[in-house]
Amino acid sequence: MNNFSSFFLLISIFLIQDCWASIVSTGDFNKDFFVTWSPSHVNTSIDGHSRSLVLDKDSGSGFASNDMFLFGQFDMKIKLVPGNSAGTVVAFYLTSNQPNRDELDFEFLGNVDGQPYTLQTNVYANGFDEREQRIKLWFDPTKDFHTYSILWNLYQIVFMVDWVPIRTYRNHADKGVAYPRWQPMSVQASFWDGESWATNGGKDKIDWSKAPFVASFKDHKIDACVWKGNEGSCSDESPTNWWNNERFNSLTWAQRRLFKWVKKYHVTYDYCQDYHRFNNTLPKECLLSKY
């Protein structure tokens, strides 16, 4: 059985046997988010269920959730810029916006025409980052919408693409590893000029003759604890806070196989393998369990 056949078999098993709790909240962009950057570059459908961000020479664009959250699951369907998108960065992320910020990032790094996007994930915990991982996706993210998700609970953070876990970051706070667990975070998206670093180390610049560039978002789903100064209630293991229940304290066996598949065939950079960057002393979590 080839890699793709094995992959889709695992997907089927995962969806049948390990389907997560049903989504209880769906949103309208106009009701759930406000524009943070350049309203003239943000376009929303009449029904509020889809939104596009525009990047041109004048400006990038962005939006953020009205609420802050502490733990939950956050899904966004995104379709990226086709053709020559070199130098552009589309981001979907959670952030506390504090000096010692916690942040969980999806960053889509554009590429020259004919070359694949790079998906970079990053974790900030108590103001510390340098935890980048990069993968090449197993599909063309410019052809259609795909679902990008972050599960964040007391035990782990899981980055998922179409329900496939591509990265985990476990709560090893008891071993001295910083973990986002105290600061509420908002859901944000932005589209900006990253040509100084995003593509080929900054060698491939934005071709502004191709502008305006458009990234599309739709069908966001937020199932999370809304922050009202209620750290205790957000940390409860209750039916309402399903993401904190024991079932979600680690990857399932099917998820682990998918996770290993991504690591083997699609990861192109992992800070936990960059001995040169860390002078042969890797961050502590690199030596601890991933699930």
Contact 26, 221 (CB under 8 A): yes
Total H helices, total E strands in the chain:
4, 15
Contact (CB, 8 A) for 234 and 223? no
Instruction: Write b or e for each residue in 183-202: b if 16 or more Cβ atoms lie within 10 A of its Cβ, otherwise e.
Output: bbbbbbbbbbbbbeebbeee
**Rounded distance between C-alpha atoms, residue 149 and residue 12, angstroms:** 18
Q: Cα dist. 87→107, 161, 162, 194, 248 in Å? A: 12, 22, 25, 5, 37
The angle formed by the CA atoms of residues 69, 75 and 80, to the nearest 5 degrees, is 125
For residue 253, give both structure tokens. 């066996």
Only one residue has tokens 């041109």, namely 56
Catalytically annotated residues: 103, 107
Q: Which residues contact 113 (CB under 8 A, 6 or more apart)?
A: 83, 84
44 three-state secondary structure:
strand
